[in-house]
Amino acid sequence: MTKTTNYSRIIAGTMTWGDWGKQLSEQRIEQLIHHCLEQYISTFDHADIYGDYTNEEQFGKAFATSDINREDIQLISKCGIQFDVKSRSNNIKHYAYSKDYIIWSAERSLKALRTEYLDMFLLHRPSPLMHPSEIAEAIAKLKKEGKIRQFGVSNFNPSQIALIETVMPIEGNQLEFSLTSNNVMGDGSLDDCIINKRLAMSWSPLGSYFKEDSLKTKRIKKVLKSLCNKYNATEDQLLLSWVLKHPAEVCPVVGTATPDRLAMAMKALEIEMELQDWFLLLEASNGYEVA
């Protein structure tokens, strides 16, 4: 499998652009798309559920009036998570991966985003009831019709990927990976991305650092205080730099809707974090030195 490199190293996560966050107008979304491209952020991460299944349509309307060439951006979306909202008649949160549903969901995302294809289409979370052959039939049909260019997963471990790969190759995996949530370095998930040349993406790449005041975040804050001066960088830039240093060449999905923070995120690519500083931060996060 050949690793795809046309995605921007920093990916714009759109989850908080709509009803789950900033509630941006279509005009503001259009301006933000342009701003991302000015910062060389060309990849936009979506999921059908964002904004209670409304974000994609808002983004699509804004993109339609933007005069941006479709080939100049990459659109990623996900399907599978079901929960009870006005637009869905669900009694309980669950995962749906029948052939018909996968195809319907992809086509719904295409219509909402006002595009003829998705650059990558992901299964959002693994289901214990997923049938590899049924998934493969749906993805093969979508690829044959040119509706998706690549197929990936999100939050899958190596054995779950191996299950799907009994019938179909997987080209990317979007995982929770940050300094404060780094289990995927030890469970084989990032190793799997390197070995099989999958696109590795990290959701919530800043982790819990800005969300909680814990012993872990206090230890990290103490180390970052000196490193910010050393690298002339902000805390979030160094947290991203820590993720970017991993040899899986992880693409952080940055979930901010603030233009300045998106610009600052790109500057993290310029930081060459020294080896011992990387381990200082790992030790601070884990609370113990490596063996």
Nearest to 13 by CA among 193, 202, 210: 202
- Note the Cα 51 to chain centre separation in Å: 16
Q: Angle at which helices 215-231 and 275-286 pack, to 10 degrees?
A: 160
Give CA–CA dist 283/75, Å, rounded: 36
Give CA–CA dist 234/33, Å, rounded: 24
Residues 237, 239, 243: CA angle, nearest 5 degrees: 110
Is there a catalytic annotation at residue 231? Answer: no
- Sign of the torsion formed by the C-alpha atoms of 209, 81, 135 and 102: negative
Task: State how far the alpha carbon of 184 is from the alpha carbons of 110, 156, 202, in Å.
Answer: 31, 10, 10
Give CA–CA dist 28/14, Å, rounded: 13
> Which is catalytic among the residues 50, 97, 209, 231?
50
Which amino acid is present at 181? S
Place of tokens 């659109």: 75
Catalytic positions: 50
